Amino acid sequence: MMRIKTGVIGLDPLLGGGFISNTVNVILGSTGVGKTIFALQYIIEGLKNREKCLYISFDMDVDDIVKTAENMGWDIKSYIDDGLLKVGKFIVEDITFLNNELMNFIKENDNNSRIVIDSFTPLLSTLDYDVRKDVNWFFEQLKRVGTAVITIEEPLSGNLDVPSITLPSFLCDCLIHMKKLGYGEVLDRTLRIVKHRKSWHAEGVFPYRIFKGLGIVVDSKHYVEQTMKRMTIQDIFSEEELKSIPAELLEKIKIALENRSYCDEDVKHLMRWVVECYRESTKS
Ligand SMILES: Nc1ncnc2c1ncn2[C@@H]1O[C@H](COP(=O)(O)OP(=O)(O)OP(=O)(O)O)[C@@H](O)[C@H]1O
Ligand SMILES: [Mg+2]
């Protein structure tokens, strides 16, 4: 499966190498968490490699987006000028859901594009009828044209149980939840990969920070180092113990340990417990 690098430092290893190509990936987060910066990093990663990119927005015009990038120390204007990056501003009030103008803008790019919709929320919050079908159809169209990143605004109330959040969350391929706690210090900003269809992904909550120039940097160092190490059966059991474990069980334990996310002390403890349970169950 082809992987698409996110451009966000420290994130790809947590996704198993990046996004999967031709998917819709949702970045959910409250105001100010860095969704637009994420979207820009994703686009710039593609532009660097001369990939075609589309940036669709409902509240920012080209100038706003160029200035937001400039504030981070990034120049996207030259890519707009040479046509590699297309920016479209649509007025939600003017369009019926996913109208032709928007679809044509997307379809002008045949394949392998990087698409950003920042944000998708205005499109959904103006609707009062069941749009699951339409959203699903729209996502299918996006996947044909490339790999999309869609940002979704988390309400300040924290209530995620509204259609504008649940619909895209259920229908997307990958969901990343970004949070800002407002306590300051190292754990102030964190992200979590809620799901990644057809791929392994890291479990847990990862701190991130935003730097001018670098953008979002995810602190996954400890996790990556831990998971790169593979625990062997010899790390858990002594020679003597190994001799007493039935071959059939030993084989299953080996398979379990091959999974790279299991190499901590808890797993040592659990594997010893597995052997104890096995013995207990085969006693009589
Ligand atoms: N030059 C900078 N250096 C460090 N951090 C910055 C810089 N510029 C912006 N930020 C941080 O990024 C945040 C804005 O990020 P961004 O615009 O991506 O948020 P967002 O999630 O898109 O929010 P919204 O769209 O709701 O306004 C700022 O609140 C600030 O904390
Ligand atoms: Mg934004």
Tell me: the pLDDT tens digits for 174-221?
999 999 987 766 679 999 999 999 988 998 899 999 999 999 999 999
**Same-domain status, 207 and 95:** yes
CA of 179 from ligand 1 middle (Å) equals 12
Ligand lying nearest the CA atom of residue 153: 1
Ligand lying nearest the CA atom of residue 216: 1
CATH of the domain at 107: 3.40.50.300
**Same-domain status, 100 and 215:** yes
Lowest-confidence segment of 161-170, 210-219, 248-257, 258-267 by average pLDDT: 258-267
191 sits in which H/E element: strand 189-196
For the cut 90, the answer to whether the pLDDT of residue 124 exceeds it is no
Please report the pLDDT score of residue 186 as a whole number.
67
Which domain range does residue 273 map to?
229-281
**Same-domain status, 144 and 106:** yes
Structure tokens at 104: 């044509």
**Same-domain status, 12 and 59:** yes
Q: Looking at the 3D structure of the chain, how many domains does it have?
A: 2
Please report the pLDDT score of residue 99 as a whole number.
67
**Same-domain status, 21 and 158:** yes
Spatial separation of the C-alpha atoms in residues 202 and 215, rounded to whole Å: 21
**Same-domain status, 87 and 170:** yes
**Same-domain status, 210 and 253:** no
Spatial separation of the C-alpha atoms in residues 236 and 130, rounded to whole Å: 54
Closest-lying ligand 1 atom to the alpha carbon of residue 39: 18
For the cut 90, the answer to whether the pLDDT of residue 241 exceeds it is yes
Q: Is the CB of 33 under 6 A from ligand 1?
A: yes
CA of 122 from ligand 1 middle (Å) equals 19
Q: Is the CB of 36 under 6 A from ligand 1?
A: yes
Domain closes at, from 175, 194, 220: 220
**Same-domain status, 168 and 260:** no
* Paired residues of 149 in beta bridges: 25, 116
**Same-domain status, 246 and 276:** yes
Structure tokens at 239: 């020679």
DSSP state of 111: S
CA count, 13 A, side-chain hemisphere, 212:
5
Ligand lying nearest the CA atom of residue 40: 1
Of 41, 119, 179, 210, best ligand 1 pocket probe by most atoms within 8 Å of the beta carbon: 210
